[in-house]
Amino acid sequence: MLQGSILQKLAKAHQQGNTALNLGVYYKNTLISLCHALEDFILESESQPIVIAAFQQGKWYLQEAERYGELAQNSSDIAIMATLGAGFSEHSTTNYENNYENVTLVNLPEDDPVAQEWHLMILSPKYTAMVLCQELSLEDYGPSGQPENDLERKFYGFWTFEPALVRETVELAIAHLQAYDPTLGEKLSGQVERMIAEFGHCQRDDLNAVVSKVVGYLQDGHSDREKGATGVFTSALQDNLMSNEMQAFLRMAQLIDQADATNPNAASEVASLSEAMGQILDLPAWQIKRLRLAGLLHRLAPLKGATEMTPLKSKPQQEMLAQQGLLPKASVLRVMPQLQAIAKIITHQSEQWDGSGQPEGLSYDDIPLESRIIALISEFQQQVTQYQSQQQDNPLAQALAHCEAEAGKRFDPKLVESLTLLVMGLQQGMSIEFSQPKIASGIWLLDETEQEMEQLVTSQE
């Protein structure tokens, strides 16, 4: 990373502990899809955000200038950073008479490290999002050098909806802008203070709609490839776009966990415990991987029409997530075809062994095996966390006893027996790593070979 760049400063601040950034490599086409999706939601929201963008060169901004004219009408302030290019400073978005007085273009010298970055930061009391990337250097590209095809250019960085991270980065960007335009820096700082004060005291925009829009744009990107692209690039771009579709859901799940102060590690712990349960049951590798993914996303889809969510039982929890625009909808996972199986698992995690559950009242082995496992493990994890917070003795044993009491009614008795073996192992020192997934490499969770194997097994049942 370039010394003095915004990405480098943010990454340095997050080197220690569990706050390391999920950095990855993105093709230009992927970033275009991401930015357009995040920008479009500004037009649908009433949040009037601050928008800070870096376009590297003025010519790239000129391709998006008319679009930013539209965004300006629904934004508080927009700051655009780029190196001076033909027509950049003279564009109509700088003309006060055209009602663009809230758009400021900041000319960067070519030796400014931010001139090699691609940023989009959106901050309001209702909606936060960010793309923060830096183009690979000639050395990073290797012997083949920088690609001739513009869409094959690569950028290193990440994107997120996380409010605290967006606020931190916006403050770094404003500090950088201050050297070029002190008045703008002071104005934006005042806006940020106001928005931070309002944050949490108003209804957040619906994150489900943002995620669906991101995935939709990325899916459109699958067919929006330049004709001159090589076959190797086409395949790599396909993976890059699909990986970011996956990232959208993982980032949403991460926000739901962060918003739950009583159980902030639910996704990673349920995923790891479900994976361990799959190994005890000697499930095939593809099914264990699917269990892990379902565990990571198990809070994303409550039942259609249900008033209670199994993973988030209490009304205060649901009200809190609704306030933050994080209350997930059952349909959100279904916008990505590769997640249909995961959506089915999560939808049926609230079925009960005796047939008294929802949404379809399935019973016994008619309930998908992975749904039964996720239901049991998520309840066990939640109980362990609760007993630990109460400083109870032997929380593992107490949580197991709670699940045993529901065997034959809510849970599959054979799975409860397997859970007993898992608890015995944990009590005897068996180690299970509860680590957050590396979101930027989410593509590993979707393996076509394993999906084909799953389909073959299903057809033979």
| The predicted structure's pLDDT at residue 86 | 45
| The predicted structure's pLDDT at residue 332 | 57
| The predicted structure's pLDDT at residue 381 | 95
Is the separation of the CB atoms in 317 and 262 below 8 Å?
A: yes
Residue 119 predicted with pLDDT over 80? yes
Split at pLDDT 50, 70, 90, the class of 18 is low
pTM value? Answer: 0.73
Residue 257 predicted with pLDDT over 70? yes
Split at pLDDT 50, 70, 90, the class of 234 is low
Residue 324 predicted with pLDDT over 50? no
Note whether residue 339 is domain-resident: yes
Bigger pLDDT: 305 vs 66: 66
In a shared domain, residues 194 and 288:
no
In a shared domain, residues 284 and 408:
yes
Q: Tell me the per-residue pLDDT of 159-205, one tens digit each, with 9 for 90 and over.
A: 888 888 999 999 999 999 999 999 999 999 999 998 888 876 665 65
Averaged pLDDT for residues 242-255: 78
| The predicted structure's pLDDT at residue 392 | 85
Q: Which of 272, 279, 297, 286 is nearest to 377 (CA)?
A: 272
Chain centroid, CA 381 distance in Å: 23
Please count the other Cβ atoms lying within 10 Å of the Cβ belonging to residue 120. 21
Residue that finishes a domain, picked among 205, 238, 265: 205
Q: Where in the sequence is the domain holding 363, given as residue range(s)?
A: 257-460
Residue that finishes a domain, picked among 205, 221, 247: 205
Note whether residue 233 is domain-resident: no
If DSSP codes are grouped into helix, strand and coil, which group holds residue 376? helix
Averaged pLDDT for residues 334-348: 77
In a shared domain, residues 270 and 387:
yes
Bigger pLDDT: 264 vs 313: 264
φ and ψ at 130, to 5 degrees? -160, 140
Look up tokens 């009491």; give the residue: 405
Split at pLDDT 50, 70, 90, the class of 401 is very high
Note whether residue 227 is domain-resident: no
In a shared domain, residues 395 and 296:
yes
In a shared domain, residues 51 and 156:
yes
In a shared domain, residues 437 and 360:
yes
Is the separation of the CB atoms in 156 and 25 below 8 Å?
A: yes
| The predicted structure's pLDDT at residue 326 | 45
DSSP secondary structure code for residue 440 in this structure: G
Q: Residue 165 is part of a domain; what is its CATH number?
A: 3.30.870
| The predicted structure's pLDDT at residue 397 | 94
Note whether residue 168 is domain-resident: yes
Percentage of the chain modeled with pLDDT above 70: 76
| The predicted structure's pLDDT at residue 131 | 92
Residue 52 predicted with pLDDT over 50? yes
State both tokens at 407: 């065997």
Note whether residue 228 is domain-resident: no
Note whether residue 230 is domain-resident: no
Residue 321 predicted with pLDDT over 80? no
In a shared domain, residues 201 and 261:
no
In a shared domain, residues 12 and 106:
yes
In a shared domain, residues 58 and 175:
yes
Spatial distance between the Cα atoms of 215 and 195, rounded to a whole number of angstroms: 28
In a shared domain, residues 143 and 278:
no
Split at pLDDT 50, 70, 90, the class of 316 is low
Residue that finishes a domain, picked among 181, 205, 229: 205
In a shared domain, residues 184 and 117:
yes
In a shared domain, residues 290 and 417:
yes
Residue 242 predicted with pLDDT over 60? yes
In total, how many domains does the chain have?
A: 2
Question: What is the DSSP code string of 124-150?
Answer: -SS-EEEEEEEEPPHHHH-TT-S-SSG
Q: Which of 304, 258, 445, 295 is nearest to 378 (CA)?
A: 295
Note whether residue 277 is domain-resident: yes
Averaged pLDDT for residues 212-221: 75
Q: Residue 421 is part of a domain; what is its CATH number?
A: 1.10.3210.10
Residue 232 predicted with pLDDT over 60? no
Where is mean pLDDT largest: 63-67, 198-202, 274-278? 274-278
Which of 27-36, 166-175, 311-320, 350-359 is predicted with the least confidence, judged by mean pLDDT? Answer: 311-320
| The predicted structure's pLDDT at residue 171 | 95
If DSSP codes are grouped into helix, strand and coil, which group holds residue 204? coil
| The predicted structure's pLDDT at residue 386 | 92
